[in-house]
């Protein structure tokens, strides 16, 4: 009996020790701070991962006006901001009870494009362009289309995104992960690189049977931008080795897309094949758009472009497709059929 009592006592002591160690470890867990979130953002972690960390960790955030401005400047998304505010106000959600991250922008406020066929407008899905880096100079779209670095980077990104979506317990938005940016093989010894915007897949699934399509464009409700800064236009896409379609390209410093500073003049020397259009402004952020002359068969996209070539962008916004960055990254692709009339 004495041996059994001693054994029970040992078990109790061990159990108590484990519980005390667990509680101590939980108490000793370092709370997340603004600097920790910014570090994760700059490290390129997906929004869903960052929000999950915020929701499942102790919080010690600076939510003063200066603190929030610093977070926004560093490229922290609205969904991550919402999670920080929630954690600061009522503590982090216990592990396993974390709610899905709040979408950065309600779907009803996202930019929309409709192709007007007869009297029935049909919405074209919003696609987010991918961003590649290459050492090839942007002399022509045809030259960029033959660059294997770009097509290899695109293939790698599509594979990576598919894996992320299969393993993620959090649903993605209609335009995919904000941080699904792809980079090519490059030398970091060069002061500048060429940034290339492209859309995955060799052809659009939106096939039009008319050479003179008409569109209705609405970006009036999208927050964090000034609608009068932008206007819609149509660009011709360049297929690249049966992998993707190139939208356009420009040169910049090799780290410019990761910089949160709003100092990147993307459009000042942007290479793209613009189509002559008639853009009728209904009100700020709302347009009726059509090609000025019949389009030849091929791949095209409706895009949003700044009216001023000198408009500055934050590299972080472009890389994470938020704010002004989403406006420039957004594309609504379509194909004019060979049989179109």
pLDDT band at 196; cut points 50, 70, 90: very high
Residue 173 shares a structural domain with residue 282: yes
Q: Give me the pLDDT at residue 136, please.
A: 87
Residue 231 neighbours by CB distance under 10 Å: 18
**Contact status, residue 107 vs residue 202, Cβ threshold 8 Å:** no
Residue 148 shares a structural domain with residue 260: yes
> How many Å apart are CA 172 and CA 155, to the nearest integer?
20
> How many Å apart are CA 222 and CA 211, to the nearest integer?
30
Q: How far does the chain reach from its first CA to its final CA, in angstroms?
A: 97
Q: Give me the pLDDT at residue 326, please.
A: 93
Q: For residue 238, what are the domain limits?
A: 107-336
Residue 96 lies in a domain: no
pLDDT at 178 over 60: no
> How many Å apart are CA 286 and CA 231, to the nearest integer?
9
Residue 99 lies in a domain: no
Residue 38 shares a structural domain with residue 151: no
> How many Å apart are CA 129 and CA 249, to the nearest integer?
12
Residue 237 shares a structural domain with residue 176: yes
Task: Determine what percent of the chain is predicted with pLDDT higher than 70.
Answer: 74
Residue 85 shares a structural domain with residue 124: no
Instruction: Retrieve residue 207's tokens.
Output: 């096939």
Residue 49 shares a structural domain with residue 180: no
Angle, CA of 195, 200 and 204, to the nearest 5°: 125
H-state helical runs in 241-285: none
**Contact status, residue 34 vs residue 55, Cβ threshold 8 Å:** no
Which of 17-21, 323-327, 329-333 bottoms out in mean pLDDT, i.e. has the lowest? Answer: 17-21
Q: Give me the pLDDT at residue 177, please.
A: 31
Residue 157 neighbours by CB distance under 10 Å: 21
- Segment of 88-102, 135-149, 239-253, 288-302 carrying the highest mean pLDDT: 288-302
Kindly state the average pLDDT of the residues 220-239. 94
Give the model confidence (pLDDT) of 237-276 as tens digits.
Answer: 999 988 899 999 999 888 787 777 788 999 999 999 999 9
Residue 144 shares a structural domain with residue 279: yes
Q: Give me the pLDDT at residue 77, please.
A: 79
Residue 80 shares a structural domain with residue 124: no
Residue 144 shares a structural domain with residue 225: yes
Residue 77 shares a structural domain with residue 186: no
**Contact status, residue 106 vs residue 158, Cβ threshold 8 Å:** no
- The number of folded domains in the chain is 2
Task: Find all residues with CB under 8 Å of 322, minimum gap 6, and list them.
Answer: 75, 77, 78, 104, 178, 224
Kindly state the average pLDDT of the residues 316-330. 89
Exposed, middle or buried by CB within 10 Å (0-12, 13-18, 19+), for 64?
A: exposed
Residue 97 lies in a domain: no
Residue 341 lies in a domain: no
**Averaged confidence pLDDT in the chain:** 77
**Contact status, residue 160 vs residue 93, Cβ threshold 8 Å:** no
Residue 257 neighbours by CB distance under 10 Å: 24
Instruction: Retrieve residue 290's tokens.
Output: 């059509």
Q: Give me the pLDDT at residue 41, please.
A: 84
Residue 87 neighbours by CB distance under 10 Å: 23
> How many Å apart are CA 142 and CA 293, to the nearest integer?
23
Q: Tokens 């954690």 correspond to what residue?
A: 87
Residue 274 lies in a domain: yes
> How many Å apart are CA 38 and CA 61, to the nearest integer?
11
Instruction: Retrieve residue 103's tokens.
Output: 């979408």
Q: Give me the pLDDT at residue 93, please.
A: 40
Give the model confidence (pLDDT) of 282-314 as tens digits.
Answer: 999 999 999 999 999 999 999 999 999 999 998
Q: Give me the pLDDT at residue 316, please.
A: 83
Q: Which of 63, 90, 117 is the last residue of a domain?
A: 90
Between residues 133 and 231, the one the model is more confident about: 231
């Amino acid at each position: 009996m004495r041996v059994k009592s001693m054994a029970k006592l040992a078990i109790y002591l061990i159990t108590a020790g484990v519980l005390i160690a667990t509680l101590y470890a939980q108490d000793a867990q370092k709370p997340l701070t603004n600097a920790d979130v910014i570090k994760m953002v700059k490290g390129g972690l997906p929004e869903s991962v960052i929000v999950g960390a915020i929701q499942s960790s102790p919080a010690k955030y600076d939510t003063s006006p200066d603190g929030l401005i610093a977070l926004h400047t560093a490229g922290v998304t609205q969904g991550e901001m919402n999670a920080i505010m929630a954690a600061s106000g009522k503590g982090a959600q216990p592990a396993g009870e974390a709610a899905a991250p709040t979408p950065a922008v309600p779907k009803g406020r996202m930019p929309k494009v409709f192709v007007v066929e007869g009297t029935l407008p049909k919405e074209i899905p919003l696609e987010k362009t991918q961003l590649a880096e290459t050492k090839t100079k942007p002399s022509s779209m045809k030259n960029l289309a033959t660059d294997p670095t770009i097509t290899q980077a695109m293939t790698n990104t599509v594979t990576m995104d598919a894996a992320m979506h299969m393993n993620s317990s959090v649903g993605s938005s209609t335009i995919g992960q904000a941080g699904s940016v792809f980079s090519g093989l490059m030398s970091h010894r060069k002061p500048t690189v060429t940034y290339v915007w492209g859309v995955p897949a060799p052809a659009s699934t939106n096939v039009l049977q008319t050479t003179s399509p008409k569109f209705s464009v609405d970006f009036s409700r999208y927050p964090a931008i000034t609608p009068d800064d932008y206007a819609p236009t149509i660009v011709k896409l360049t297929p690249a080795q049966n992998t993707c379609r190139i939208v356009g390209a420009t040169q910049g410093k090799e780290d410019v897309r990761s910089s949160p500073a709003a100092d990147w003049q993307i459009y000042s020397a942007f290479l793209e094949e613009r189509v002559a259009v008639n853009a009728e402004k209904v009100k700020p952020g709302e347009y009726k758009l059509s090609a000025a002359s019949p389009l030849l068969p091929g791949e095209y996209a409706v895009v949003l472009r700044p009216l001023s070539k000198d408009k500055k962008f934050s590299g972080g916004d472009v890389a994470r497709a938020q704010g002004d960055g989403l406006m420039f990254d957004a594309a609504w692709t379509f194909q004019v059929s060979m049989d179109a009339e």
